[in-house]
Structure 1
């Protein structure tokens, strides 16, 4: 499977007639994550007219048909909330989706959306990482590191070049994510109990956490959560309980987050060699946009994260994205349709860390 995934400039369904010279334009952005999706409807002045939430729209998890139906339902809800009549066209639909990494598959996605639902005049599909970058940075340049239910990372240079690392799902990736953290802890428990690999840590607290969260009495009852029916999001949320235990001082749980920090930093190390000098020389160095609930446990991740870097790395400034990536998706959709909407007032980021040396 090749990276990429941009599908733009696609003309909408012929049933959507062009408006007059002074027609008001409307732009929808949808960010589709592994656990849920967010949608936003903006006008040409970047005023938020409506927001909504939906379930996962990852095509590799639910299939294209269900993903398209969820998107259509979200657009319908946005219209209803904003009191936008069905005969008023949406200028563009920007989709920044988890799992949108295959250009051919994304083209199928656009075709199905347009032929079956005729949602907009034009469409663009990108990976969810680019939606986060578009929300946070007006220049669309920097690194995005996602760690929520799953994990992913991209570097986008000022010249538009994009380098990917991770984002391959729980079977082939997701290192450092909520799911990975939960799986790491539970697998350690299984290996310890089987005496395949005895842990040097006291796992009694972990054992109680597993029993309480999953509502089981013996290990074999855990199999249903990992096989059929498999619920990645439910397993990933176990990470929250591990974070509480780590914050309270449990040595094993602190070790898990140390390892998570290290493998998250691996993503940055993978793309860093491709960062241009122009990007490195920005004020504060390379901006790193951190997205996802796992970063709420930064103090637990920090030591392992920092241990991955040496003294020769370029300066990097880390920001948490406090707003919805759907805004960036709407911006990208509008841009692909020939409109630049002023979203600077919708770019909430919080600077929380700086490392490296000025180059």
Structure 2
């Protein structure tokens, strides 16, 4: 295949990375994949986000051995584009690079409905570096809860768990409260024996948002080993994520009984313990899933949405 007009492109962009997949417009078969850095315009800024979007598209065409050109249709699921100005920025970029005449842009959570629910509607929950919950009903009406970012929310996210673990380690260093294995565990991760080294690590940037999120598995491991502080953090954040999901269901006016659920994000996909606890807390909120789909590659949903544009 040598003609970009015979292809669609699906793009999934979030707080950690950006993935672009070129696929056969007729069959949906993936042809090539390209990746870039984070493209959340609210978190990284417009210039950086557009640069990484472009890098992912360029890499996909290069991997396909094709000259870059307009594709038959494009679907972009991007974190941080819920506000109209965000959509306008992305549309402007897409027009500038002549991505496609047929284009759809929405929040990255929308990809989960296409990839992880039987009929393309239900409840979608992402818990990775950040967290958010979306609902989409059978008529296309959407609602959301969460997604406030790491300063104002992101309950049940890897960043939140990593941060609470760090706070607990600092309190333990001050001999305040219950002892916890998180202090020596975090010190080992830092490569230091001095808890005061947490200060420059965090405030001078060695432990940025992504690095703190990457500490979440240490909290979950400590919880699995019976550490009371780590267990409390883990259970609290699973409960908070379930409350966020329940908030989205209420906002969307969907039935709590028999709702299809799609889950994504490293925290939910990679930790069975956290996922099971979240689903248990979801039940405690009165929500009974009819199905639970794990979406480890949301960009598949973007390809589905791009092909739907052609069928219309």
Question: What is the TM-score when the length of structure 1 is the normalising length?
Answer: 0.77
Is it true that 1:272 corresponds to 2:249 in the alignment? yes
SS in 1 for 2:150: helix
2:289 paired residue among 316, 320, 323:
316
Partners of 1:134 and 1:171 lie apart in 2 by: 30
Is it true that 1:293 corresponds to 2:266 in the alignment? yes
Runs of 4 or more above 6 Å deviation: none
Structure-1 residue corresponding to 2:212: 235
Matching of residues 191-230 of structure 1 within 5 Å? 191-194=171-174, 198-199=176-177, 201-203=178-180, 205-229=181-205
SS in 2 for 1:100: coil
Structure-2 residue corresponding to 1:345: none
2:230 paired residue among 243, 246, 253:
253
With 77-86 and 294-303 compared, the bigger mean Cα shift is at 294-303
Deviation at 1:193?
3.9
Q: Taking structure 1 as reference, are residues 225 and 319 closer, same or farther at Cα in structure 2, changes over 3 Å only?
A: farther
Deviation at 1:261?
1.0
Deviation at 1:320?
4.0
Deviation at 1:274?
4.3
1:166–1:267 CA contact under 8 A, matched in 2: yes
Q: Say what the alpha-carbon RMSD is for the aligned residues.
A: 2.5
Partners of 2:50 and 2:311 lie apart in 1 by: 25
Structure-1 residue corresponding to 2:90: 109
Partners of 1:322 and 1:152 lie apart in 2 by: 15
Deviation at 1:194?
4.3
Q: Taking structure 1 as reference, are residues 77 and 169 closer, same or farther at Cα in structure 2, changes over 3 Å only?
A: same
Matching of residues 21-100 of structure 1 within 5 Å? 25-44=6-25, 45-86=27-68, 88-100=69-81
SS in 1 for 2:75: strand
Query: Which protein is bigger by CA-based radius of gyration?
Result: 1
1:325 paired residue among 290, 298, 305:
298
Structure 1 residue runs of 5 or longer lacking an equivalent are: 1-18, 341-359
Structure-1 residue corresponding to 2:280: 306
2:141–2:252 CA contact under 8 A, matched in 1: no
Question: What is the TM-score when the length of structure 2 is the normalising length?
Answer: 0.88
Q: Deviations over 1:280-335 (max 9, x none)?
A: 67xxx101111112123232454476356548x25314524244111212222343
Structure-2 residue corresponding to 1:169: 149
Q: Deviations over 1:159-202 (max 9, x none)?
A: 1111110011101111011100011111123244446xx43x32
Partners of 1:188 and 1:243 lie apart in 2 by: 14
Deviation at 1:77?
1.4
Is it true that 1:263 corresponds to 2:266 in the alignment? no
Question: How many pairs are equivalent?
Answer: 307
